[in-house]
A and B are shown apart, each in its own frame.
Chain A
Amino acid sequence: GDSVTQMEGPVTLSEEAFLTINCTYTATGYPSLFWYVQYPGEGLQLLLKATKADDKGSNKGFEATYRKETTSFHLEKGSVQVSDSAVYFCALNSGGGADGLTFGKGTHLIIQP
Protein backbone atom coordinates (compact mmCIF):
# COMPACT_ATOMS: atom_id res chain seq x y z
CA GLY A 1 0.00 0.00 0.00
CA ASP A 2 0.86 3.68 -0.05
CA SER A 3 3.21 5.06 2.58
CA VAL A 4 5.10 8.26 3.42
CA THR A 5 8.32 8.44 5.43
CA GLN A 6 9.69 11.60 7.02
CA MET A 7 11.99 12.43 9.92
CA GLU A 8 10.00 13.03 13.09
CA GLY A 9 12.34 15.35 14.90
CA PRO A 10 12.25 17.57 16.70
CA VAL A 11 14.43 19.48 14.30
CA THR A 12 15.93 22.54 15.97
CA LEU A 13 17.46 25.36 13.92
CA SER A 14 18.55 28.91 14.49
CA GLU A 15 16.72 31.77 12.83
CA GLU A 16 17.90 32.42 9.23
CA ALA A 17 19.24 28.87 8.85
CA PHE A 18 18.54 26.75 5.77
CA LEU A 19 15.83 24.14 6.22
CA THR A 20 15.44 20.75 4.63
CA ILE A 21 12.84 18.22 5.76
CA ASN A 22 13.12 14.96 3.90
CA CYS A 23 10.10 13.07 2.61
CA THR A 24 10.07 9.85 0.62
CA TYR A 25 7.08 7.87 -0.50
CA THR A 26 5.84 4.56 -1.83
CA ALA A 27 2.75 4.61 -4.00
CA THR A 28 1.07 2.97 -6.93
CA GLY A 29 0.61 4.92 -10.10
CA TYR A 30 1.29 8.65 -10.21
CA PRO A 31 0.34 10.30 -6.95
CA SER A 32 0.03 13.96 -6.09
CA LEU A 33 2.25 15.13 -3.24
CA PHE A 34 1.51 17.64 -0.51
CA TRP A 35 3.07 19.43 2.42
CA TYR A 36 0.79 20.48 5.27
CA VAL A 37 1.72 22.67 8.24
CA GLN A 38 0.20 22.59 11.72
CA TYR A 39 0.82 25.58 13.98
CA PRO A 40 0.41 25.06 17.74
CA GLY A 41 -3.20 24.49 18.74
CA GLU A 42 -4.49 24.56 15.17
CA GLY A 43 -5.55 22.20 12.42
CA LEU A 44 -3.51 21.30 9.37
CA GLN A 45 -3.20 23.81 6.53
CA LEU A 46 -2.06 23.04 3.02
CA LEU A 47 1.36 24.59 2.48
CA LEU A 48 2.12 23.49 -1.07
CA LYS A 49 1.52 20.69 -3.53
CA ALA A 50 2.79 19.14 -6.77
CA THR A 51 0.75 16.96 -9.04
CA LYS A 52 3.27 15.49 -11.47
CA ALA A 53 6.94 14.62 -11.77
CA ASP A 54 9.39 17.56 -11.80
CA ASP A 55 6.69 19.99 -10.64
CA LYS A 56 7.81 22.43 -7.96
CA GLY A 57 5.33 23.57 -5.36
CA SER A 58 6.05 26.81 -3.51
CA ASN A 59 4.44 29.02 -0.88
CA LYS A 60 5.58 31.42 1.87
CA GLY A 61 9.24 30.89 0.92
CA PHE A 62 8.96 27.11 1.14
CA GLU A 63 9.42 24.91 -1.89
CA ALA A 64 9.48 21.23 -2.77
CA THR A 65 10.13 19.40 -6.05
CA TYR A 66 8.40 16.17 -7.05
CA ARG A 67 11.22 13.74 -7.84
CA LYS A 68 9.82 10.55 -9.30
CA GLU A 69 13.22 8.94 -9.84
CA THR A 70 14.03 9.12 -6.13
CA THR A 71 10.37 9.01 -4.92
CA SER A 72 11.00 12.12 -2.86
CA PHE A 73 9.39 15.47 -2.08
CA HIS A 74 11.79 17.25 0.26
CA LEU A 75 10.68 20.55 1.81
CA GLU A 76 13.18 23.44 1.74
CA LYS A 77 13.36 27.04 2.87
CA GLY A 78 16.35 29.29 2.50
CA SER A 79 16.01 31.30 5.70
CA VAL A 80 13.68 30.19 8.46
CA GLN A 81 11.96 32.42 10.99
CA VAL A 82 10.74 31.81 14.52
CA SER A 83 7.18 31.93 13.13
CA ASP A 84 7.94 28.82 11.03
CA SER A 85 8.00 26.72 14.19
CA ALA A 86 5.32 24.10 13.61
CA VAL A 87 4.72 20.47 12.71
CA TYR A 88 5.09 19.69 9.00
CA PHE A 89 3.34 16.73 7.36
CA CYS A 90 4.17 15.21 4.01
CA ALA A 91 1.25 13.47 2.29
CA LEU A 92 0.29 11.80 -0.95
CA ASN A 93 -2.89 11.09 -2.87
CA SER A 94 -2.72 8.21 -5.30
CA GLY A 95 -6.40 8.58 -6.21
CA GLY A 96 -7.02 4.92 -5.53
CA GLY A 97 -10.10 5.28 -3.39
CA ALA A 98 -12.30 7.38 -1.16
CA ASP A 99 -10.08 7.12 1.91
CA GLY A 100 -8.19 10.30 1.16
CA LEU A 101 -4.58 11.23 1.68
CA THR A 102 -1.80 9.13 3.17
CA PHE A 103 0.23 11.11 5.71
CA GLY A 104 3.71 10.83 7.14
CA LYS A 105 4.07 11.03 10.91
CA GLY A 106 5.00 14.70 10.89
CA THR A 107 8.21 16.60 11.63
CA HIS A 108 8.30 18.98 14.57
CA LEU A 109 10.36 22.05 13.66
CA ILE A 110 11.63 24.43 16.34
CA ILE A 111 13.29 27.70 15.31
CA GLN A 112 15.30 29.48 17.98
CA PRO A 113 15.93 33.24 17.82
Chain B
Amino acid sequence: DAGITQSPRHKVTETGTPVTLRCHQTENHRYMYWYRQDPGHGLRLIHYSYGVKDTDKGEVSDGYSVSRSKTEDFLLTLESATSSQTSVYFCAISESAGVVTEAFFGQGTRLTVV
Protein backbone atom coordinates (compact mmCIF):
# COMPACT_ATOMS: atom_id res chain seq x y z
CA ASP B 1 0.00 0.00 0.00
CA ALA B 2 1.10 3.53 -0.78
CA GLY B 3 2.29 5.38 2.32
CA ILE B 4 -0.38 8.01 2.75
CA THR B 5 -1.63 9.08 6.15
CA GLN B 6 -4.50 11.46 6.71
CA SER B 7 -5.12 13.10 10.06
CA PRO B 8 -7.40 13.34 11.83
CA ARG B 9 -9.56 10.47 10.62
CA HIS B 10 -12.69 11.93 12.20
CA LYS B 11 -13.49 15.43 13.36
CA VAL B 12 -16.54 17.27 14.60
CA THR B 13 -16.29 21.04 14.64
CA GLU B 14 -18.56 24.03 15.08
CA THR B 15 -19.66 26.40 12.36
CA GLY B 16 -17.27 29.31 11.99
CA THR B 17 -14.20 27.61 13.41
CA PRO B 18 -11.03 27.02 11.39
CA VAL B 19 -10.09 23.44 10.58
CA THR B 20 -6.91 21.98 9.11
CA LEU B 21 -6.64 18.51 7.64
CA ARG B 22 -3.25 16.97 7.04
CA CYS B 23 -2.04 14.58 4.38
CA HIS B 24 1.39 13.01 4.83
CA GLN B 25 3.08 10.78 2.23
CA THR B 26 6.23 8.71 2.35
CA GLU B 27 6.40 7.97 -1.40
CA ASN B 28 8.15 11.20 -2.48
CA HIS B 29 5.47 11.73 -5.15
CA ARG B 30 5.38 15.14 -6.73
CA TYR B 31 1.61 15.52 -7.16
CA MET B 32 -0.89 15.68 -4.32
CA TYR B 33 -4.65 16.23 -4.37
CA TRP B 34 -7.54 16.96 -2.04
CA TYR B 35 -10.99 15.64 -2.93
CA ARG B 36 -14.31 15.68 -1.17
CA GLN B 37 -16.83 12.87 -1.51
CA ASP B 38 -20.54 13.52 -1.19
CA PRO B 39 -23.58 11.41 -2.08
CA GLY B 40 -24.74 12.12 -5.61
CA HIS B 41 -21.57 14.02 -6.47
CA GLY B 42 -18.89 11.37 -6.36
CA LEU B 43 -15.38 12.74 -5.94
CA ARG B 44 -14.78 16.42 -6.55
CA LEU B 45 -11.33 18.00 -6.71
CA ILE B 46 -10.78 20.82 -4.22
CA HIS B 47 -7.12 21.77 -4.72
CA TYR B 48 -4.01 20.12 -6.04
CA SER B 49 -0.27 20.58 -5.83
CA TYR B 50 2.39 19.94 -8.45
CA GLY B 51 5.36 20.64 -6.23
CA VAL B 52 6.51 22.37 -3.07
CA LYS B 53 4.73 25.73 -2.83
CA ASP B 54 3.00 25.05 -6.19
CA THR B 55 -0.76 24.68 -5.84
CA ASP B 56 -3.84 25.36 -7.89
CA LYS B 57 -7.61 25.35 -7.55
CA GLY B 58 -9.88 22.49 -8.47
CA GLU B 59 -13.57 22.27 -9.17
CA VAL B 60 -14.84 23.19 -5.68
CA SER B 61 -12.17 25.40 -4.10
CA ASP B 62 -14.36 28.13 -2.55
CA GLY B 63 -13.95 28.20 1.24
CA TYR B 64 -10.76 26.12 1.17
CA SER B 65 -7.07 26.92 1.10
CA VAL B 66 -4.02 24.66 0.90
CA SER B 67 -0.33 24.75 1.63
CA ARG B 68 2.60 22.57 0.73
CA SER B 69 5.85 23.57 2.40
CA LYS B 70 7.42 20.11 2.12
CA THR B 71 7.14 17.36 -0.46
CA GLU B 72 5.57 14.99 2.03
CA ASP B 73 2.86 17.22 3.53
CA PHE B 74 -0.23 18.79 1.96
CA LEU B 75 -2.54 20.71 4.29
CA LEU B 76 -6.16 21.59 3.61
CA THR B 77 -7.63 24.46 5.64
CA LEU B 78 -11.24 25.47 6.05
CA GLU B 79 -10.87 29.07 7.22
CA SER B 80 -14.38 29.26 8.68
CA ALA B 81 -16.20 25.95 8.53
CA THR B 82 -19.79 25.80 7.30
CA SER B 83 -22.33 22.98 7.40
CA SER B 84 -22.01 22.57 3.62
CA GLN B 85 -18.42 21.47 4.19
CA THR B 86 -19.55 18.39 6.10
CA SER B 87 -18.09 15.65 3.95
CA VAL B 88 -15.50 12.92 3.64
CA TYR B 89 -12.17 14.31 2.49
CA PHE B 90 -9.62 12.25 0.61
CA CYS B 91 -6.01 12.97 -0.14
CA ALA B 92 -4.39 11.39 -3.17
CA ILE B 93 -0.89 11.30 -4.62
CA SER B 94 0.62 10.50 -7.98
CA GLU B 95 4.13 10.20 -9.25
CA SER B 96 3.66 12.21 -12.42
CA ALA B 97 1.08 13.95 -14.58
CA GLY B 98 1.62 11.47 -17.39
CA VAL B 99 -1.37 9.88 -19.06
CA VAL B 100 -0.69 6.36 -17.76
CA THR B 101 -0.25 7.43 -14.15
CA GLU B 102 -2.73 6.33 -11.52
CA ALA B 103 -3.43 8.01 -8.19
CA PHE B 104 -3.16 6.49 -4.73
CA PHE B 105 -5.59 7.45 -2.01
CA GLY B 106 -5.50 7.92 1.73
CA GLN B 107 -8.11 6.45 4.08
CA GLY B 108 -10.12 9.63 4.29
CA THR B 109 -11.17 12.13 6.95
CA ARG B 110 -14.81 12.37 7.96
CA LEU B 111 -15.56 15.97 8.90
CA THR B 112 -18.82 17.02 10.49
CA VAL B 113 -19.61 20.72 10.91
CA VAL B 114 -22.38 21.35 13.44
Measuring CB to CB, which residues of chain A are less than 8 angstroms from any residue of chain B? Answer: 8, 29-32, 34, 36, 42-46, 49, 51, 89, 93-95, 97-101, 103-106
Contact = CB atoms under 8 A, between A and B. Distances in A.
Contacts of A100: 31, 33, 45, 48, 92, 94, 97, 103
Interface residues of B, number: 27
Given A43-B105, A93-B99, A105-B41, 13 more contacts: A32-B101, A36-B105, A42-B108, A43-B107, A46-B104, A98-B31, A98-B97, A99-B33, A99-B48, A100-B31, A100-B94, A105-B42, A106-B43
Interface of B: 4, 31, 33, 40-43, 45, 48, 50, 56, 58, 90, 92, 94, 97-108
10 contacts: A32-B99, A32-B100, A43-B4, A43-B108, A95-B100, A98-B97, A99-B48, A99-B58, A100-B33, A105-B40
A89 B44 CA distance: 12
